[in-house]
Chains A and B, each alone.
Chain A
Amino acid sequence: MSSTDSTQSRRQEAFQLWKLPVAIWAALLILLAITVGSAYIPLGTFNIAINLAVACIKATLIALFFMKLSRSSSLLRLAAVAGLFWFILMFLLTGGDYLTR
């Protein structure tokens, strides 16, 4: 009996393993549908704004849950934010020059 019980609990554990990733995956596919659908509605500059906002939400979902930043140590979070920081700095400094000429 105990081996059937452990198989049962093992199956339960495997199910638990899939739950969160599948939920995130479903959310990503819904966001993909929104972004592709909205691209065909004429909204002027809002089109690219919506599409980039959706892309940022998708990237955040992947970073937090697939790349596990939601449960990572501060060291890993800091390393992730450092990459983002230099990225923003590069855009700000270059944009501050080229986009204001």
Chain B
Amino acid sequence: MSDAPALLHEPWPSVERQREGVSFGLWLFIATEILFFSGLFLGYTLYRNLYPDAFKIAARETEVFFGTLNTAILMTSSLTMAVAARGATRGFRKMTLWCLAVTITLGCTFLLCKGLEYHDDIDNRLVPGPDFKLKPPETQIFWAFYWVMTGIHAVHVTVGIGVVTTVTLLIYRRRIPLATAAVEAMALYWHLVDVIWIFLLPLLYLMGRS
């Protein structure tokens, strides 16, 4: 047992306190992430209020199919991530590793769909600039928000995939214990990324459909 990786680290007096500390740190990070994204959400709200008609015209051009499919994919990846976090603390090694592998796969599927969608958007000349196809010119503001918000979100998904893959491999090779607080920490982050997407869906995809 001596070469088994330790669960408890300095300076924590107990594993419970360590777990609490890790989650607390993650929640503080999530608060900064909320504020980071809220700047974009706020900008979106103000410009939508200034140019409501242009925003409706512009929003009709986003692809609801990909938006909805990607929401379902992210929600399902959140399910497997939640189960992994629960399984890890209860010693379900095989199930946790499988759930993490499925989470990684679904994350990659999300990015693949996003890439196909970006390809269509570029083909449809929806990148703000001289070639932009929509009128009035204010529609470009909506599409600028679309590219920045979904782009930054995709960066978050990519970072998430990297972190989850790293931790999964470390657990698989028994370099860190299964009950590590890292699983809970990355689960919190993964769910946050899901929540942000849940708000992007109505603002970018569902507006101006009726």
Interface residues of A (CB under 8 A from B): 13-14, 17-18, 21-22, 24-25, 28-29, 32, 35-36, 39-43, 47-48, 51-52, 54-55, 58-59, 62-63, 65-67, 72-73, 75-76, 79-80, 82-84, 86-87, 90-91, 94-95, 98-99
Interface pair B35/A90, CB less than 8 Å apart: yes
Q: Are B79 and A25 in contact (CB under 8 A)?
A: yes
Contact B202 A51 (CB under 8 A): yes
B210 touches A21 (CB 8 A): no
CB distance from A16 to the nearest CB of B (A): 9
The residue in chain A whose Cβ has the minimal distance to the Cβ of B65 is: A36
Distance, CA A75 to CA B17, complexed state (A) = 12
Are B191's CB and A62's CB within 8 A? Answer: yes
In the bound complex, do residue B95 and residue A83 qualify as a contact, i.e. CB atoms below 8 Å apart? no
Question: Which residue of chain A is the closest to B74 with respect to CB atoms?
Answer: A28
| Residues 68-89 of chain B, each 1 if its beta carbon lies under 8 Å from chain A, else 0 | 1001100110110111001100
Does B23 lie within 8 Å of A91, measured CB to CB? Answer: no
Pair A32/B75 contact, Cβ less than 8 Å: yes
Show 17 residue pairs from A and B whose CB-CB distance is below 8 angstroms, ordered by the A residue.
A14-B92, A17-B87, A17-B92, A25-B78, A29-B75, A32-B71, A40-B209, A51-B202, A52-B199, A52-B202, A66-B81, A67-B187, A67-B192, A82-B31, A87-B38, A90-B38, A99-B46
A62-B191, A91-B38, A91-B42 known; A42+B210 contact, CB < 8 A:
yes
Which residues in B have their C-beta under 8 angstroms from that of A63? 191, 195
- The verdict on B24 contacting chain A, using a C-beta distance below 8 Å, is yes
Question: Is B210 in contact with A87, judged by CB distance below 8 angstroms?
Answer: no
